[in-house]
A and B are shown apart, each in its own frame.
Chain A
Amino acid sequence: MNAVEVRDLVVEYGAHRVISGLSLEVPDGTFVGLVGPSGCGKSTLLRCIAGLLRPTRGTVRVLGAPVVGPPPAVGILFQEDALLPWRTAQENVALGLKFRGMPRSEAQEEALRWLERVGLGAFARHYPSELSGGMKKRVALAQVLACRPRVLLMDEPFASLDAILRQLVERDFLDLAAQERLTVLWVTHDLEEALLLSDRVVVMSAGPLAHVVRTYEVPFGRTRDLVRLRADPRFADLLQAIWEDLRREVARMGWEGAA
């Protein structure tokens, strides 16, 4: 079964068309990486799946059900974390549980367990302004995972972190996602990262009129090591192929130099 199914999606803001006839499938339990030139409508696509944006035409289904509002089975991590600044880390994590009708004290306890799972149990009573960037990402992750989503959407969630912190946070995230058996659709700019973490990489065309250019199956199995992967000739071939696709798309937009 497909966890996410997008058919002939068209999104227009007024007269301005952003996505033009995009179709996409994310099989249950897989990691799908979404790459494409900047401004190609990747974020718009995620917003449609998350139920934050109503498409002009086309259908979006999550676990078989058409999306009309934010589906409870979907969690989303944005590029910029958006924790409520007036809530402590623990209260932020408890938020989704409270919305689902869990009693307050129970939600707080569950939230604390999740904070401990991301290594921030000691910071439960801190406000976001008292946390570092990496810590806020972890709180946001705990906040989303506490709601037990089946599908996780991520819009370059780690882009604002520096390289080392990013690798560590990503690693922890993958562990958690594997434990929770999540289906993940994520947007990234980093092709190596996309190949390292995904089962399938989808290349989107340059906007406007975004659509799917090509889909690559990643044949390396789930447990990977970047160093070993780099030595694999298939890895280099895939990287090359995706890179060529992207180069063509960017060139089509007429600013090749910016690539």
Chain B
Amino acid sequence: MRRTGVLLLGLVAWELAARLHWLDPLLFPPPLEVAAVLMGLFRSGGFWGHVRTTLLEAFLGLASGVLTGGLLGIGAAIFAPVAEVLEPVMALLNAIPRVILAPLFVIWFGIGVASKVALGFLLVCVVMFFAVYTGIREVDPRLVDRVRTLGGRSLDVLREVYLPSLAAWLLSGLKVAVGFAFTGAVVGEFVAASRGIGYLLSFAQSTYNARLTLALVLLVVGVILGLFGLSTALERRWLRWKPEYHRAPSPVPSTAPSTPSAPAARGVRPVERE
């Protein structure tokens, strides 16, 4: 609530400042005008084609990156030689700003969808590799022992221990990956494209159209926030065992002095040791 209030206050202040010409409305267009531009875009027929293109690129980049990064992560966690080769490569790719490869991808794959997907793929793949690789290596070996001594087979160990412990890493990796998939798509379009939100952004910039630029930025932020909401819902479902997702303050006494004597009270007959 407080955050919403501050945001609203900021927007109102901005609106007033622009209307009163304290800020140059050409550079800092008032929020209401930006909103009007955005509504105008939604109503125009050609706009949705651009949105579809960007969404498609982001989705393809995300899907291919998650799949490849995940599989490489599993491979590296299981086979030490794979890790030896992959880890330094991934660490290097992780350290450099990967978007510098965008121009190269345009040369290789053309100005169509492929070069944007390639960029998104590269961005996402590295993130997911580390999420899965770390996730598997961080699995508590005591839990594996526990399941095995209770009679669990390899498949049980996978289902009961590996997949659930991986879920937390996967989700946090996915959150970052979604943002990166859009970065890949939009930045790729920025460099060279004939369609997409990045293309529109680049057009808006070249015509000094701050209103259109802000409207497009707002749109991308909106889409990402929506996806974040989705992943938070998934987290609440998959990770409800984590203390931070507990439904309500738990009725557990902080120290449980009353419970140890409970079995006797509940009718388990104590064996006398006299």
Contacts and interface: CB of A to CB of B under 8 A. Distances in A.
Interface of A: 50-52, 69-70, 72, 74-76, 78, 80, 82-87, 95-96, 99-100, 116-121, 123, 126-132, 134-135, 138, 143-144, 147, 165, 168-169, 171-172, 174-176, 178-179, 222-225
Contacts of B164: 84, 86
A132 B250 contact: no
**Which of B146, B243, B246 counts the most chain A CB atoms within 10 A?**
B146
Contacts of A96: 150-151
B46 interface: no
Contacts of A82: 140, 142-143, 145-146
A172 B250 CA distance: 25
A219 B234 CA distance: 60
Contacts of A83: 146
B259 interface: yes
Interface stretch (B65-73, B190-198, B200-208, B260-268): B260-268
B255 interface: yes
Contacts of B269: 175
Nearest to A146: B150
Main secondary structure of the interface of B (DSSP, over half): loop
Contacts of B250: 126, 130
Interface string B245-274: 010001011111001111101101111111
Contact of B271 (A119, A121, A129, A175): A175
Nearest to B240: A127
Contacts of B149: 50-52, 70, 74-76
Given A99-B150, A172-B263, A223 B272 contact: yes
A171 B239 CA distance: 35
Contacts of A169: 260
A72 B151 contact: yes
Nearest to B142: A82
Contacts of A74: 149
B142 A80 contact: yes
B150 A147 contact: yes
Given A95-B160, A147-B150, A131 B273 contact: no
Interface residues of B, number: 43
Contacts of A78: 142, 145-146
A256 B263 CA distance: 42
9 contacts: A75-B149, A95-B150, A96-B150, A126-B252, A130-B243, A132-B252, A132-B255, A172-B263, A178-B271
B161 A84 contact: yes
Contacts of B148: 51-52, 69-70
B263 A118 contact: yes
Given A132-B253, A132-B256, A175-B270, A52 B145 contact: yes
B136 to A, nearest CB: 16
What are the nearest 4 A-B pairs in CB distance?
A119-B262, A96-B150, A168-B260, A82-B142
A176 B266 CA distance: 13
A171 B148 CA distance: 28
A167 to B, nearest CB: 9
A117 B268 contact: yes
A50 B151 CA distance: 11
Given A82-B142, A179-B271, A224-B273, A131 B150 contact: no
Residue from B151, B164, B265 having most chain A Cβ neighbours under 10 A: B151
Contacts of B138: none
